[in-house]
Amino acid sequence: MSNAKSLEELEQKQDFIRRHIGPSPAQVSDMLSALEVSSVQELIDQTVPASIRLEQPLTVGQSRTEVETLSYLKSVASKNKVFKSYIGQGYHPTNVPHVILRNVLENPGWYTAYTPYQPEIAQGRLESLLNFQTMTLDLTGLDLASASLLDESTAAAEAMGLAKRVSKAKKANAFFIADDVHTQTIDVVTTRAEQFGFEIIVGKAEDAVNHDIFGALFQYPTTSGEVVDITDLIAGVQSKKAIACVAADIMSLLLLKAPGKLGADVVLGSAQRFGVPMGYGGPHAAFFATRDAYKRSLPGRIIGVSKDRLGNDALRMAMQTREQHIRRDKANSNICTAQVLLANMAAFYAVYHGPQGLKTIAQRIHRFADILASGLKAKGIALKHSTWFDTLTVVSDSKDDVIARAIAKGVNFATNHEGEYSISVSETTTRADITELFDIILGEGHGLSVDAIAADVEANGSESIPASLVRDDEVLTHPNFNSYHSETDMLRYIKRLESKDLSLNHSMISLGSCTMKLNATAEMIPITWPEFANLHPFCPLDQAEGYQIMINELHDWLVNITGYDAVSLQPNSGAQGEYAGLIAIRKYHESRGDAHRNVCLIPSSAHGTNPASAQMASMKIVVVNCDKNGNVDMSDLKAKAEEVSENLSCIMITYPSTHGVYEETIREICDIIHEHGGQVYMDGANMNAQVGVTSPGFIGSDVSHLNLHKTFCIPHGGGGPGVGPIGVKSHLAPFMPNHSVINVPGTNIGNGAVSAAPYGSAAILPISWAYITMMGSEGLKQATEMAIVNANYLTHELSKHFPILYRGRNNRVAHECIVDLRPLKELSGITEMDVAKRLQDYGFHSPTMSFPVAGTLMIEPTESESKGEIDRFIEAMVSIKGEIEKVISGEWSIENNPLVFAPHTQGDVLGNEWDRAYDRFYAAFPVPAVAKNKFWPTVTRIDDVYGDRNLVCSCPAVETYRD
Ligand SMILES: *Cc1c(COP(=O)(O)O)cnc(C)c1O
């Protein structure tokens, strides 16, 4: 038979590569003919400089099928031992409501969205984030909240930064941390302080007032569980004009007086135990609140209420001018990717349970702690404190025996403080668990009955929360927290919000530099397996063998892919990776007696996080110009490197450049920096144009971060989570982050942490692991090549209608291109903003706007989009160009055309009045393809200025819901 195929061929047909790569072979050949090349290889030869092409293929293994991959990963995961965790210290078991698990965490409508930079098509997650902020405000008792930070410990470091900015104790250079703050938080804040040149004083909380400080941090309740009235401590700190920061447990705040009401200036913490699995450390959202007076200093994003063109309430990110994109080295923080998906989960948890439900959960937790304490005390066990919310600390000389019995029963306590152990009960704790805890601590035959003790506690009450700290105000009174308590109502609320948002399950999101590629379902499946989801980050290492295997494999593959020698998976975002990488550079210079090297060269085209991170590492930034082709201006680079030579620390450079071009001089750039004793930091956000074809290590760079949430398929979650591992050459490896609770092999013991958990957001690493496994060496390379094919095809077609700003050799681009809208704007008055908003009417999310060049769109199709989808996008852009031409010709006035009125909502188009120069149908269905898959923005264009002038960062008053 002539068409007989070998078994091998038949099996290859099942591979994942062709599912991940969008264009079919026929579409690829169509695109290649449009580009007038005969093969993919020919295009790559034209595009990627020969001098940086890898000679050897990657060695990450052969592509495996989805079924094989998941079955192998399951066997790895099952090596994790899921013990009952009473470790606490900021991480608690939680019951994820199933309606949230399936319809948010496992739902691409939520997890594939991008950061809400286009608010008209993001009102759903903006409402959910506003719920998160409202919840934060209610629980903390403060005036102003941000939408989510990366974890509790980095939020504490941000609090220190805010304290320094706003404190009137201008001469003070020390920050105080109470010694009963979580260990990992002391670690992360100390690392940050070292970078800023602040002194850290760790001591007894009462001692804060005795130091010359600009701020202090307390834990409420303390890490060992004590509930202390911190009113006087706060007042003491403030009497020194210092800022009082409080890290609080979110669940305890249902029962305890809000720290804001006790006078705190900043309150922060983790929202993990509001329905987000522990996941061996993350991802989880941190909350952060402060006084209104400090709003310009607040780190992270703030969601605010504004108006749309028709006067309706509409949500958006407020005060974006504070963001690092715009403020660069004057930014408040370097946070870009945050934890939106997890903040949404926590907010939905509060919406679903409501104030009563949450209070019941908190009271039950507290009651179990009371019962446990009462039984232990009856048996003569000494507790360290007389107050608690959920955590009891036992001072014990038989600690080792108790821990051994606990381990034998599959139970973990917190053991990292000498001579004592702590037990934190949680939402998942049951009566049987309490009996088991008695068995462990007292030995069997103790004769205690949980029911009898419970009856006793109920009859006599408990004084484990001091009367002065019992919460007496109402929380979460807004209707959003009081309306959706049945599963049907909740399901519909989640769906209603989801429907307002444009995600990858609707159409392509061609955000340049963001790599919005496929987040395959098979990659997402493992993250909710209990073997991955339910591990505490500080559990003994031998219980996390599955994680260690997966992490080590991923580590080795990333080493291979980047051409570096070692990788740290700890940073929680690309920007945190930059920060960690710059710390490594700094420590390296210090180790060689070059502590004075503090100048960081940054090309003018750099992403805003680069200068913001450099500033966090206390580097002096010197900007290097770009030439008219968008490349680094070599003579300027040479001159500047020469000028600062003695003090040169490093360069931060993105490759391919943020202009979407493989700069030919990249090796020379590395050499120049090295000749002056500097290090090369290559921003890895554009790794999607490198994997398998070239690599930063091969090119000659010393350190990079990768955005696993760009190149390696972790979904963007509507603005996070992310993972920003750094790869380094061997000379920098000893300077990568370590962790004070769990030692990370391969780094110096003394190195501080940059994230709360040793492996950062470990729970989402299986996504990248699965991507690499299923693609294999060959598939990863193909993905890069197809990203280049798609980008060049799109560029080629668009260039017939718009100028393309920069190109590389042979007139090719890398994996993205910049369309210049300035000439059309000049002629018509139509702005890049109008084009971005009009694209929404066509069912598309705008590409990246005005970065890295104002007045442009940067478009990155990725390898996952088919030619069909790319053609639809091109059709939309060409049609929009036709609209602009009608403005230029005078057929439409600049005030009355579909671009300036975009986007069009149903209410707008179907309203009773219509006085536009174009018809209603055209407004909403400008090309026939739109009708097949119409996406309706739910608000019209949002007024940015109004929102900033009238900053409202909690859910609008009930009245506005009435009409
Ligand atoms: C996305 C991006 C970053 C920042 O990464 P985050 O994960 O959002 O912190 C840095 N540099 C470039 C070029 C980027 O595109």
pLDDT at 958: 62
pLDDT at 889: 98
Ligand 1 centroid – CA 157 distance (Å): 20
Which residue's CA is the closest to the ligand 1 atom numbered 15? Answer: 513
Question: Could you give the C-alpha distances from 72 to 90, 533, 546, 937, in angstroms and in order?
Answer: 32, 17, 11, 43
- Clarify whether residues 299 and 155 are in a common domain: yes
Question: Could you give the C-alpha distances from 538 to 43, 107, 219, 418, 760, in angstroms and in order?
Answer: 49, 29, 19, 16, 12
Ligand 1 centroid – CA 64 distance (Å): 30
- Clarify whether residues 758 and 792 are in a common domain: no
- Clarify whether residues 741 and 835 are in a common domain: no
Question: Could you give the C-alpha distances from 763 to 188, 424, 470, 544, 804, in angstroms and in order?
Answer: 20, 22, 36, 12, 40
Q: Is the peptide bond before 852 cis (omega within 30 degrees of 0)?
A: yes
Give 712's pLDDT tier (boundaries 50, 70, 90). very high
Q: Tell which of 697, 731, 766 closes a domain.
A: 766
pLDDT at 124: 98
Q: Is the CB of 656 under 6 A from ligand 1?
A: no
Residue type, 443: G
From 114, 151, 683, give the residue whose CB has the most ligand 1 atoms within 8 Å, as the site to mutate: 683
Tell me how many helices (H) and strands (E) the chain has. Answer: 33, 23
Q: How many domains does the chain have?
A: 3
- Clarify whether residues 313 and 211 are in a common domain: yes
Q: Is the pLDDT of residue 962 over 50?
A: no
Ligand 1 centroid – CA 891 distance (Å): 42
Integer Cα distance of 134 and 47 in angstroms: 50
DSSP symbol at 940: -
Ligand 1 centroid – CA 340 distance (Å): 16
Q: Is the CB of 236 under 6 A from ligand 1?
A: no
pLDDT at 960: 53
Q: Is the pLDDT of residue 2 over 60?
A: no
User: Coil, strand or helix: which one is 328?
Assistant: helix
- Clarify whether residues 117 and 195 are in a common domain: yes
From 115, 609, 616, 658, give the residue whose CB has the most ligand 1 atoms within 8 Å, as the site to mutate: 609
pLDDT in tens, 727-783: 999 999 999 999 999 999 888 888 999 999 999 999 999 999 999 999 999 999 999
Residue type, 341: L
Q: Is the CB of 685 under 6 A from ligand 1?
A: yes
Question: Could you give the C-alpha distances from 551 to 73, 744, 764, 778, 858, in angstroms and in order?
Answer: 12, 12, 11, 22, 34
In a domain, 827, yes or no: yes
From 333, 513, 706, 818, give the residue whose CB has the most ligand 1 atoms within 8 Å, as the site to mutate: 513
- 476: Cβ–Cβ under 8 A, 6 or more apart, which residues? 134, 135, 138, 350, 354, 355, 358, 482
pLDDT (mean) for 317-321: 83
Residue 941: how many other CB atoms lie within 10 Å: 22
- In ligand 1, the atom with minimum distance to the C-alpha of 709 is 7
- In ligand 1, the atom with minimum distance to the C-alpha of 722 is 7
For helices 545-562 and 66-77, give the axis angle rounded to 10 degrees: 130
pTM of the model: 0.97
- Clarify whether residues 758 and 784 are in a common domain: no
In a domain, 700, yes or no: yes
Residue type, 198: F
Residue 890: how many other CB atoms lie within 10 Å: 8
Residue type, 941: R
From 337, 712, 714, give the residue whose CB has the most ligand 1 atoms within 8 Å, as the site to mutate: 337
pLDDT at 13: 67
- In ligand 1, the atom with minimum distance to the C-alpha of 513 is 15
Burial (CB count within 10 angstroms: exposed 0-12, middle 13-18, buried 19+), residue 850: middle
Ligand 1 centroid – CA 532 distance (Å): 27
**503 in Cβ contact with 112 (< 8 Å):** yes
Give 959's pLDDT tier (boundaries 50, 70, 90). low
- Clarify whether residues 809 and 714 are in a common domain: no
Identify the CATH number of the domain in which residue 871 sits.
3.90.1150.10
Paired sense of beta strands 726-728 and 599-603, if any: unpaired
pLDDT in tens, 226-250: 999 999 999 999 999 999 999 999 9
Integer Cα distance of 754 and 568 in angstroms: 11
Which of 896, 863, 558, 781 shows the shortest CA–CA distance to 55?
781
For helices 183-196 and 609-616, give the axis angle rounded to 10 degrees: 100
Domain residues for the domain of 310 are: 100-350
Mean of all residue pLDDT scores within the chain: 96
- 634: Cβ–Cβ under 8 A, 6 or more apart, which residues? 627, 665, 668, 669
User: Coil, strand or helix: which one is 926?
Assistant: coil
Residue 31: how many other CB atoms lie within 10 Å: 24
pLDDT in tens, 827-840: 999 999 999 999 99
Q: Is the CB of 724 under 6 A from ligand 1?
A: yes
In a domain, 931, yes or no: yes
Identify the CATH number of the domain in which residue 331 sits.
3.40.640.10
The HSE-up count of residue 868 (CA atoms within 13 Å, CB side) is 8
Q: Tell which of 316, 350, 384 closes a domain.
A: 350
Q: Is the CB of 573 under 6 A from ligand 1?
A: yes
In a domain, 925, yes or no: yes
Integer Cα distance of 831 and 856 in angstroms: 9
Q: Is the pLDDT of residue 3 over 70?
A: no
- In ligand 1, the atom with minimum distance to the C-alpha of 576 is 9
Q: Is the peptide bond before 721 cis (omega within 30 degrees of 0)?
A: yes
Q: Is the CB of 607 under 6 A from ligand 1?
A: yes
Residue 42, φ and ψ in degrees, nearest 5: -60, -40
Q: Out of 30-39, 362-371, 577-586, 737-746, which region has the weakest mean confidence (pLDDT)?
A: 737-746
Integer Cα distance of 90 and 522 in angstroms: 30
Integer Cα distance of 541 and 548 in angstroms: 8
In a domain, 385, yes or no: no
Ligand 1 centroid – CA 685 distance (Å): 6
- Clarify whether residues 176 and 319 are in a common domain: yes
Concatenated DSSP letters for 859-901? E---TTS-HHHHHHHHHHHHHHHHHHHHHHHTSS-SSSSTTTT
pLDDT at 731: 97
Size of the chain in residues: 963
- In ligand 1, the atom with minimum distance to the C-alpha of 334 is 9
Which residue's CA is the closest to the ligand 1 atom numbered 7? Answer: 574
In a domain, 259, yes or no: yes
Q: Is the pLDDT of residue 322 over 80?
A: no
- Clarify whether residues 737 and 883 are in a common domain: no
In a domain, 81, yes or no: no
pLDDT in tens, 338-394: 999 999 999 999 999 999 999 999 999 999 999 999 999 999 999 999 999 999 999
Integer Cα distance of 212 and 209 in angstroms: 8
SS (HEC) of 20-61 = HCCCCHHHHHHHHHHCCCCCHHHHHHHHCCHHHCCCCCCCCC
Q: Is the CB of 511 under 6 A from ligand 1?
A: no
Give 586's pLDDT tier (boundaries 50, 70, 90). very high
pLDDT at 5: 80
In a domain, 871, yes or no: yes
DSSP symbol at 259: G
Give 963's pLDDT tier (boundaries 50, 70, 90). very low
Integer Cα distance of 446 and 440 in angstroms: 10
**381 in Cβ contact with 421 (< 8 Å):** no
- Clarify whether residues 856 and 905 are in a common domain: yes
User: Coil, strand or helix: which one is 442?
Assistant: helix
* pLDDT more than 70, % of the chain: 99
Q: Is the CB of 660 under 6 A from ligand 1?
A: no
pLDDT in tens, 907-921: 999 999 999 999 999
Q: Tell which of 766, 800, 833 closes a domain.
A: 766
Ligand 1 centroid – CA 334 distance (Å): 10
Ligand 1 centroid – CA 757 distance (Å): 21
pLDDT in tens, 612-669: 999 999 999 999 999 988 899 999 999 999 999 999 999 999 999 999 999 999 999 9
Residue type, 420: E
Our CA dihedral for 475, 480, 481, 487, rounded to 10 degrees, sits at 180
Ligand 1 centroid – CA 609 distance (Å): 7
- 904: Cβ–Cβ under 8 A, 6 or more apart, which residues? 841, 898, 923, 924, 937, 940
Strand partners, 868: none
The residue with greater pLDDT, 319 or 908, is 908
281: left (phi over 0), alpha (psi -120 to 50) or beta: left
Ligand 1 centroid – CA 101 distance (Å): 28
Concatenated DSSP letters for 163-224? HHHH-S-TT--EEEEETTS-HHHHHHHHHHHHHHT-EEEEE-GGGGGGS-EEEEEEEES-TT
- Clarify whether residues 250 and 202 are in a common domain: yes
**816 in Cβ contact with 513 (< 8 Å):** yes
Residue 648, φ and ψ in degrees, nearest 5: -70, 125
Ligand 1 centroid – CA 575 distance (Å): 6
What distance lies between CA 266 and its chain's CA centroid? 22
- Clarify whether residues 185 and 105 are in a common domain: yes
Ligand 1 centroid – CA 574 distance (Å): 5
**Order of strands across the sheet that contains 599-603:** 566-568, 726-728, 703-706, 679-684, 648-654, 599-603, 620-624
Question: Could you give the C-alpha distances from 138 to 440, 623, 844, in angstroms and in order?
Answer: 38, 43, 37
From 607, 616, 653, 816, give the residue whose CB has the most ligand 1 atoms within 8 Å, as the site to mutate: 607
